[in-house]
Amino acid sequence: MAIVIEPVYADGIAQLSYLVGDDSAGVGAVIDPRPDCDIYLELAKEKGLRIIAIYETHIHADFMSGSLALRKRLGGDVPVRVSIESGPDYSFDYEPTRDGDESLFGELRLVARHTPGHTPEHLSYLAHHGDEDDPFAVFSGDTLFVESVGRPDLLGDDETNALAKELFESIHGFFAQLPDGTMLYPGHGAGSSCGPDIGDRMYSTIGYEKVHNVYFSLTDEEDFIDKVLGEAPEEPRHYRPMKKLNASAADSRMELGFPKAFSPEQVESLVSDGSFTVLDCRSPIAFSAEHIPRSLNIAAQGEMSVWSGWLLEFDQPLVLVLERDTDLESTLALLWRTAHANVIGYLSGGIMNWIMEGKPVSCVKVYDPGALHEALDEVQVLDVRSESEHQAGFIPSSKHIFVPDLEAEAKDSLDPQKPVVTYCASGFRASIAASILKRMGFENVGTLPGSWMAWKSASLPIARPEKEMQPA
């Protein structure tokens, strides 16, 4: 019998939550649950644990917290423990937690420690074995990541500098003082925008971070702040609204409704109404071949959560087009992670049912790297990657608009009468961009499947930004 620590990874948002407990006592807790929470119930059953508490390290910005959904699934009586350090405002029932509070789960003792910087109220949780003084692990939430730290700039300019100073103190005044052997279990892995250049391992040790995490070596406060603010990735648009949602008691946080199966005629009527968005959840290749006109393509894989957060409003009514009707449940979970619970229905039988009913379809032209290279003088090539990706190299003569900015900038940057070919890193965002352009009225739109990876594999020319001339 042993202490249990079971990480749960949510791909796309690169989020880590944890089931912890003591299987000899048969009790445990969940730290930072995601909203599609049945996985914790299944893990608890497998490990012989009864979940008796739910913990939030902080008010999350990047995903919808599953604390209320999990509490409801557990019968409604399990406490949700949240930080009241620095005076956050919650509108749901909670158990207040502050620095130094302890809870026992058999031989597992969790101790809350205030570690502000990413947010003012942030708590990390030290894990002790029984009465032992030294912790064997720390659940660091979004304050400390593998080879990185949490960004302090998500609450606006007025609070950024103060949070950055608190982050410096949390790293050097708290985490750096922990024993080297302390296991580090962070709230995110590589790919999250909650911190700069997060390492690609799911866990670490404090000793490893002291040697390999550059923020531990930055002992001058100004140097630390300059680096963390200078390297923060672009902030996704849903982050600040998500924080407000996660402090609320919104019904959408507790339960995901089950959408209706619509016939082609019903979907066509909804499309003509104009108040619904048809979200095509199929692969970019399938979308390119044929799709419902004016539909938005975000493929149902991990990245769907992030990009639906970037591009869709929380309450936007959605009608789904799926690869298979059996994909509905998993697709709903991906959307729910970034608070898109307003799925009205889905096209029963998928796109083939639409086609067999004689409904109109649109398509996106597909280029291979060689064909695109030959057509560079005839088409507008559009790079929709982030600025940092673009700076590392791009297709010659291409224009650059980050995909979330496309709707605002495309008409001023692109000629609607000339073919446009989109590309990204692998093709996922390129298809999103192509669908946005089609929705905007661009008729001749194409994509490069495999995108930048395919272009480089074909050993075709690569352009790079011109270096600024240095004064003599």
pTM for this prediction: 0.93
pLDDT (tens digit, 9 = 90+) per residue, 443-460? 999 999 999 999 999 999
State what percent of residues in the chain have pLDDT above 70.
99
The pair of three-digit structure tokens given for residue 375, joined into one six-digit string = 């057509």
pLDDT at 258: 87
Average pLDDT over residues 436-440: 97
Residue 469 has pLDDT above 50, yes or no: no
Residue 273 has pLDDT above 90, yes or no: no
Question: Cβ of 258: how many Cβ atoms within 10 Å?
Answer: 10
pLDDT (tens digit, 9 = 90+) per residue, 314-352? 989 999 999 999 999 999 999 999 999 999 999 999 999
State what percent of residues in the chain have pLDDT above 90.
93
With residue 30 as reference, give the H or E element that holds it. strand 27-31
pLDDT class of 127 with cuts at 50, 70, 90: very high
- Collapsing DSSP states into helix, strand and coil, what is residue 355? helix
Domains 3-245 and 256-356 share a fold: no
How distant, in Å, are the alpha carbons of 58, 252, 300, 309, 317 from that of 327? Answer: 32, 21, 8, 20, 19
Residue 40 has pLDDT above 50, yes or no: yes
Evaluate whether 172 touches 228 at the Cβ level (below 8 Å).
no
Nearest-angstrom CA–CA distance, 211 and 146: 12
- Is the domain defined by 3-245 classed in CATH 3.40.50.300? no
The pair of three-digit structure tokens given for residue 386, joined into one six-digit string = 């982030």
Phi, psi at residue 82, to the nearest 5°? -130, 155
Residue 112 has pLDDT above 50, yes or no: yes
pLDDT at 157: 87
- The more confidently predicted of residues 458 and 468 is 458
Name the average pLDDT for the chain.
Answer: 95
Least confident of 28-32, 176-180, 313-317, 421-425: 313-317
Nearest-angstrom CA–CA distance, 472 and 469: 9
- Collapsing DSSP states into helix, strand and coil, what is residue 344? strand
Residue 388 has pLDDT above 60, yes or no: yes
pLDDT (tens digit, 9 = 90+) per residue, 138-177? 999 999 999 999 999 999 888 999 999 999 999 999 999 9
pLDDT (tens digit, 9 = 90+) per residue, 236-257? 999 999 999 999 999 889 988 8
pLDDT class of 467 with cuts at 50, 70, 90: low
Of 3.30.1520.10, 3.40.250.10, 3.40.720.10, 2.60.40.10, which CATH number belongs to 256-356? 3.40.250.10
| Cα torsion 217, 219, 223, 228: sign | positive
Residue 212 has pLDDT above 80, yes or no: yes
pLDDT at 468: 42
Residue 405 has pLDDT above 90, yes or no: yes
pLDDT class of 470 with cuts at 50, 70, 90: very low
Average pLDDT over residues 381-399: 96
pLDDT class of 472 with cuts at 50, 70, 90: very low
Phi, psi at residue 272, to the nearest 5°? -65, -25
Average pLDDT over residues 385-389: 93
Average pLDDT over residues 85-109: 97
pLDDT at 466: 76
Average pLDDT over residues 91-118: 98
pLDDT (tens digit, 9 = 90+) per residue, 58-88? 999 999 999 999 999 999 999 999 999 999 9
The pair of three-digit structure tokens given for residue 190, joined into one six-digit string = 């590589």
Which fold would CATH assign to domain 365-457? Oxidized Rhodanese; domain 1 (3.40.250)
pLDDT at 72: 97
pLDDT at 271: 84
The pair of three-digit structure tokens given for residue 456, joined into one six-digit string = 């480089």
How do the domains of the chain map onto residue ranges?
A: 3-245, 256-356, 365-457
Average pLDDT over residues 402-418: 95
Q: Which residue has the tokens 């407990």?
A: 21
pLDDT class of 4 with cuts at 50, 70, 90: very high
Question: Cβ of 77: how many Cβ atoms within 10 Å?
Answer: 7
DSSP string, 308-323: HHHHS-TT--EEEE-S
Average pLDDT over residues 105-114: 98
Residue 363 has pLDDT above 50, yes or no: yes
